Structure 1
Amino acid sequence: MNANELIDGAEAYFRERYEKIVDFPFVTRPTIWICDHEAPASRRCRFCERGPSEAVTFRLKAHAGPELLGSKTIRTKNECDECNRRFGTGIESHLGNRLAFVRSVTQVKGKNGAPSYENPSRSMKITHPRGKQTFTLTDKSLFDKALASKGEAFSFDLPADAMSMMHVPSEAFKALIKIACSVCPLGELPECRPAIHWIMTGSRPYISNHLVVRTFTSGPGDAFTSKVILLRRKQPGQEPYMWCILQVLNHSFQFFVPFCPSDTAIMKAGTVSIPAWPYRPDNIPLQLPHDTFDYWKEDWSSTQEEQISIKAGFHVQKAWVVNGPNTSEELREDGSR
Structure 2
Amino acid sequence: MDPIEYAKAFYLQHYTVLNMWNITPGVRVVLGSGDPQACRFCQRQAPEVTFRLKAHAIPEALGNKGMLSRYECDECNKHFGSTIENDLGNWSLPMRTLLRIYGKNGVPTLKNKRDGWRIECDDGTELRVSHNRIDSVFEVDEAQKLIRFNLKRGPFVPLAVRKALVKIGLTLLPEVEVPNFAEAIRWIRDPEHPNERMVRMPVLRTLRPGPMNGQMISAAVLRRSEHSGGLPYAFLILSIANETYQVMLPSPQLDPPLDAAPMQMPVFPAGLGQNRDSICAALNLSESERVVDEALSAVMSYGARIPR
Counterparts in 2 of 1:157 and 1:7: CA distance versus 1, 3 Å: farther
- Structure 1's 144 and 24: CA in aligned 2 closer, same or farther, altered over 3 A? closer
By how many angstroms is 1:74 displaced? 1.3
Which range moves more in the overlay, 102-111 or 135-144?
A: 135-144
Determine the C-alpha separation between the residues in 1 that align with 2:25 and 2:180: 27
In structure 1, what is the equivalent of residue 179 of structure 2?
190
Quote the offset at 1:126 in angstroms: 1.6
**How far apart, in 2, do the equivalents of 1:65 and 1:210 lie?**
22
Answer whether contact 2:194 2:288 (CA < 8 A) is retained.
Answer: no
Pair member with larger Rg: 1
For residues 149-160 of structure 1, the aligned pairs below 5 Å read 155-158=145-148, 160=149
Kindly indicate whether residue 222 of structure 2 is the aligned counterpart of residue 226 of structure 1. no
2:262 corresponds, among 239, 254, 273, to 273
- Alignment partner, residue 118 of structure 1: 111
Does the residue aligned with 2:86 lie in a helix, a strand or coil? helix
Cα RMSD between the aligned structures? Answer: 2.8
Give the C-alpha shift of residue 139 in structure 1: 3.0
Give the CA deviation at 1:227: 1.2
- SS of the counterpart of 1:15? helix
Residues 209 and 300 in structure 1, CA contact (< 8 A), matched pair in contact too:
no
Q: Which has the higher helix share?
A: 1
- 1:217 aligns with 208
The 3 A distance-change label for structure 1 pair 119 and 278 is farther
Q: Secondary structure at the match of 1:162?
A: strand
> Identity across aligned pairs (percent)?
27
Query: Which residue number in structure 2 is paired with residue 293 of structure 1?
Result: 278
User: Counterpart of 2:17?
Assistant: 20
Alpha-carbon offset, residue 33 of structure 1: 1.5
> Which ranges of structure 1 fall in alignment gaps of 5 or more residues?
318-334
Aligned mate of 2:298, from 300, 312, 332: 312
Correspondence list, 1:80-119, <5 A: 80-118=73-111
Indicate if the aligned counterparts of 2:201 and 2:248 stay in contact, CA closer than 8 A.
no
Q: 1:101 is paired with a residue of what secondary structure? A: helix
Letter in structure 1 aligned against 2:169: A
Query: Please, which of 34, 38, 43 is the counterpart of residue 38 of structure 1?
Result: 34
Gaps of 5+ in 2: none
Alignment deviations for residues 207-262 of structure 1 (CA, whole Å, 9 cap, x no partner): 45561001100111228842111111112411101011110110011111113432
User: In structure 2, how many angstroms separate the alpha carbons of the residues matched to 1:74 and 1:31?
Assistant: 6
Q: TM-score, normalised by structure 2?
A: 0.87
Distance in 2 between residues matched to 1:31 and 1:248, nearest whole Å:
17
Q: Distance in 1 between the 2:288 and 2:193 partners?
A: 14
Asked if the contact 1:120/1:161 (under 8 Å) is kept, the reply is no
1:206 aligns with 2:196: yes
Check conservation: 1:224, 1:285, Cα contact below 8 A. Answer: no
Contact 1:69–1:110 under 8 Å retained in 2: yes
Could you tell me which amino acid in structure 2 is paired with residue 315 of structure 1? S
Letter in 1 for 2:239: Q
Provide the aligned length of Structure 1 versus Structure 2: 299
Distance 1:99 1:272, change over 3 A: farther
The TM-score, its normalising length taken from structure 1, stands at: 0.80
> How many angstroms apart in 1 are the aligned matches of 2:216 and 2:273?
10
User: Shift of residue 123 of structure 1?
Assistant: 6.9
